[in-house]
Amino acid sequence: MKIHYYLGWFRNFFPENLERVLQEDITDRKSIVMISSNPSLYEDDGATERSWLDQAGIMFDEYHLINYRVQKEDAQRLIHNASVIFLLGGNILKQNDFLMEYELSDWIKKSRAVVMGASAGAINMSAKWLCSKNFGDEVEVSSVYEGIGLDEFSVLSHFDLENNMELVQRELSPLSEEINIYASNKDCAVRIKGDKIDIIGNVYLISKSKIQKLDKTL
């Protein structure tokens, strides 16, 4: 059964309801593989995301970080053997380029691991996403990028929705005519388990140019 977590960003640690379902879902704790969003930088990469898991009491026998220090074939092997795959937050475009360069998307899609992504990582897990300077991306022209495609929707994660609702709706309306978009701010998560979608925190659905706040299910 597929289990995917699209996370925002957490100011402190995971809330209790998220901790509980993660404890239930992550039963195999042999190996966690974290995929960098800035693979040329090495210091403290993934420290924050690991602290969330540590605080929740979710520990692993082995911890691996995939960046440019890891050879492409070794990175693919680590993903193949992973219990959990965690796409780290940070630079969406650099992570997207790295996923393509190392040909990791198919390996992640074929994996039986629990797959998680925070902020940029969550966005890259989705089928496609809008890259826009109005969302803080370092581009002049907005364009749609292909993500890993674990689920057939788009994600906007860790963005100040409450103060930018009109902007978000205007920017994402064209893409929302094609694909559903789940948008969230901090301390939020969308959990996919099999065919079930669970909502933690304040998450909005943008579909056919209309935006609605979703009911929390956990």
pLDDT digits (tens, 9 = 90+) for 56-91: 999 999 999 999 999 999 999 999 999 999 999 999
In a domain, 190, yes or no: yes
**What pLDDT is recorded for position 45?**
83
Q: Is residue 27 part of a domain?
A: yes
Residue with tokens 């002049």: 140
pLDDT of residue 111: 96
Residue 108 lies in a domain: yes
| In-domain check, residue 140 | yes
pLDDT at 12: 86
Tell me the pTM: 0.96
Asked if 98 and 35 count as a contact pair (C-beta separation under 8 A), the reply is yes
CATH code of the domain containing 146: 3.40.50.880
The answer as to whether 218 is a domain residue is no
- Report the phi/psi class of residue 199: left, alpha or beta, with left for phi > 0 and alpha for psi in -120 to 50: beta
**Per-residue pLDDT tens digits for 95-142:** 999 999 999 999 999 999 999 999 999 999 999 999 999 998 989 999
Burial of 208 (0-12, 13-18, 19+ CB in 10 A): exposed
What does the DSSP assignment read for 86-149?
EEPSS-HHHHHHHHHHTT-HHHHHH--SEEEEETHHHHHHSSEEEE-GGGT-S-SS-EEEE---
Residue at 129 is within a domain: yes
How far apart CA 146 and CA 130 sit, in angstroms, is 9
Taking 90 as the threshold, does the pLDDT of residue 41 lie above it?
Answer: no
CA 13 – CA 162 distance, rounded (Å) = 21
Domain carrying residue 70: 3-213
Q: Are 181 and 144 in contact (CB under 8 A)?
A: no
Domain count, the chain: 1
